[in-house]
Amino acid sequence: MSPLPPNTTPVPPPIFEPGMTSATTTTAPTPSPVPHRPKQPDSEPDPDPQPDTKPPAHPLPRIRLHLNDLSDAGTSLFLSSVSAAELLPSSIRTVQSHLYPLAPSTCSPTTAPTPTPWHLPPTRSITLILRPMDGVAYTSGLELDPVHHKEIHLSTTYLSSVPASRVGAEIAGVLVHELVHCYQYNGSGTAPGGLIEGIADWVRLGADLAPPHWKAGEVGEKWDAGYQRTAYFLAWLARRFGGDTVRRVNEKLRAGKYEEPGFWVELLGREVGDLWEEYKESVKKGKGE
């Protein structure tokens, strides 16, 4: 898999929420709640422990956080809005479970996991770098080993511009989008950029992290316009052809190059242009959501 181009997530339009006068409001950020773990009471070890019922999970990569400048207001905002130690692993789990779900374990933990058709890429480390820059975020592979080691660059300049009440949710949504780039296939660099970005936002959508300005009925100029416009098209395809459809698209981009005609016909029996027309019709009739 060749490294993905560092496509920068576009800056969304400013969001004004009720009671706010401008995007630069000085309201204190609302921190994401830290999950509360009740203290376990002291007790004797359970003589008859239940079998481990935890769902099977993929391994996590090494996760690193790099803060370029602690005096940067956007860095402080990040640190006060989210718990990085919780959010990063849970966001990676979200991406893994959307694109590479494991079959539920049927017996004991010693049983080998049931094989699935999904192949998790061998991502070994992910470094989140907070620094001032234009745009929102982008993901790239490390020059020496772009397949195994990924870097997500998140703009502190952008974070400073997000309404304080939304910072935590926006960080979570952008992170899931960028983490998809750490775990998706791109047909050895041949897939349309809009499809790659659409799959990233399809996961963000499925994780219930869509920002308020996304609108389901907002149809793009073409199917691979990218980002949420393609994400809503992919979500419709998944309803039309089955929940695994986007996973099958991703898997096909692992197995070979993206070539039209052929790609969508082999996958869904139709050309993507025909599917796009059908999608637009269904949106017009109010069924595209």
Which residues lie near Zn ion (CB under 5 A)?
7, 197, 200
φ/ψ (deg, to 5) at 130: -100, 120
Smallest distance from Zn ion to CB 7, Å: 5
Token pair for 270: 């139709």
- Give the β-pairing of 149-155 and 137-141: antiparallel
Q: Rounded to the nearest 10 degrees, what angle do helices 272-284 and 227-241 cross at?
A: 90
Give the nearer residue to Zn ion in terms of CB position, either 29 or 155.
155
Give the nearer residue to Zn ion in terms of CB position, either 197 or 224.
197
Q: Which of 102, 169, 158 is nearest to 132 (CA)?
A: 158
Tell me if 74 sits within 8 A of 161, measured CB to CB: no
Smallest distance from Zn ion to CB 14, Å: 20
Give the nearer residue to Zn ion in terms of CB position, either 87 or 200.
200
Smallest distance from Zn ion to CB 155, Å: 13
Smallest distance from Zn ion to CB 198, Å: 9
Smallest distance from Zn ion to CB 161, Å: 19
φ/ψ (deg, to 5) at 141: -95, 150
Cross-strand bridge partners of residue 151: 127, 140
Give the nearer residue to Zn ion in terms of CB position, either 6 or 56.
6
d(CA 200, CA 195): 9
Tally the residues of the chain.
289
Give the nearer residue to Zn ion in terms of CB position, either 184 or 245.
184
